Amino acid sequence: MKKRWILNLILLAVVAGLVSFLYLRPKPDAVKQAAYEVSSYKLAEFNAIKVEFPAKAAVTFEKVNGFWNLTAPYKTRADQASVQRILAIIAASSSQKIVTDDLQKFGLHQPSIKLTLYRDKNDSEEFLFGTYNPLNDEQYVSHRNTVYLISNDYGSAASSQVIELVDKAPLKPTEKVVGFDFSHLEQWEASRLNLDLVDGQWKVSLDKAKPTQNEMNEWADYSWIHTRAKSVELYTPDRKVTHPSFEVKLADGSKVHFDKIQESPELILARPDEGLMYYFPQDEGFVMLNPPINLPSK
């Protein structure tokens, strides 16, 4: 019995020593997966973009005064964040880098997307999007005779529906608001409500109004400067139909006209000069057209 007890102690000591060795031994460095940069270009290098597809019209963009505009299939303001997501291809990294002329192997001989970034009309960079890797759903992309395997997010950004690439802000980033003429909306028609920003202070055309400057600034900022519609559509004005309307006054003396197409169950505003309709949730829409001018209760 005594020998068996001693043997058990020896075995226990061996097991404890083995466990301690495995736990305390230096850990080997984790194997780092190679990462290859698709390019080292800078976003500011490019002034135009063309996205081509096998079976639908190309989409093109041009940067004007620091802002991206859609130029085809129709001309309008572009959503800046969406364009940045397309341009993000230049910062992509890949776990594979294959120098090859065999584009067919990766579905690049007939690319699903051809993305061209222009510095000027004679200086451009081309990216071809091919098939997907079935193991990780990443996509093969070719640039300068080199094939990379990158996230499918880049292809998704480039192939977005055109209407999703339109700026959802009702005002241009260069349009500085200095007032509103709400006198042609039903709720303000009798009072002929006008708002004007004079020397940094909001003035209301109604004598009984008691606006608080902070509230007015927050309203203008939230509802008009930084607001975004939940969706947009193309708009062709019907000259036979008259809609309630209002105008936004700008610092350069011009005005932006909006037609109110619908107020419920969602607010739909149309901007005839840009041929766009903007859709807002009903609660946000109510705030947009009803500034906090603090009229006394009747």
What average pLDDT does the segment 172-188 reach? 96
pLDDT on residue 148: 97
Q: Is the pLDDT of residue 23 over 70?
A: no
> Does position 57 have pLDDT exceeding 90, yes or no?
yes
Evaluate if residue 15 carries a pLDDT over 70.
Answer: no
Write out the DSSP string of the chain. -HHHHHHHHHHHHHHHHHHHHHHHSPPPPPPPPP-EES----GGG--EEEEE-SSS--EEEEEETTEEEEEESS-EEB-HHHHHHHHGGGG-EES-EEE-S--GGGT-SS-SEEEEEEEETTEEEEEEEEEEPTTT--EEEEETTEEEEE-THHHHHHT--GGGGB---SS-TT--EEEEE-TTSHHHHTTT-EEEEETTEEEES-TT----HHHHHHHHIIIIIS---SEEEE----TT----EEEEEETTS-EEEEEEEE-SSEEEEEETTTTEEEEEEHHHHHHHHS----PPP-
% of residues, the chain, pLDDT over 70: 88
pLDDT digits (tens, 9 = 90+) for 230-288: 999 999 999 899 999 999 999 999 999 999 999 999 999 999 999 999 999 999 999 99
Question: Predicted confidence band at 69 (pLDDT cuts at 50, 70, 90)?
Answer: very high
* Predicted pLDDT of residue 33: 58
Q: How confident is the model at residue 29 (pLDDT cuts 50, 70, 90)?
A: very low
Task: Give the mean pLDDT of 60-78.
Answer: 96
Q: What is the pLDDT of residue 34?
A: 66
Closest CA to 124 of 64, 38, 47, 62: 47
CATH class assigned to 36-164:
mainly beta
| pLDDT at res. 16 | 52
Per domain, the residue ranges of the chain are 36-164, 177-289
pLDDT-above-90 percentage for the chain: 83
Quote the pLDDT of residue 35.
Answer: 86
Mean pLDDT of the region 191-210 = 96
According to the model, what pLDDT value does residue 228 have? 96
pLDDT of residue 22: 46
pLDDT band at 17 (very low <50, low <70, confident <90, very high): low
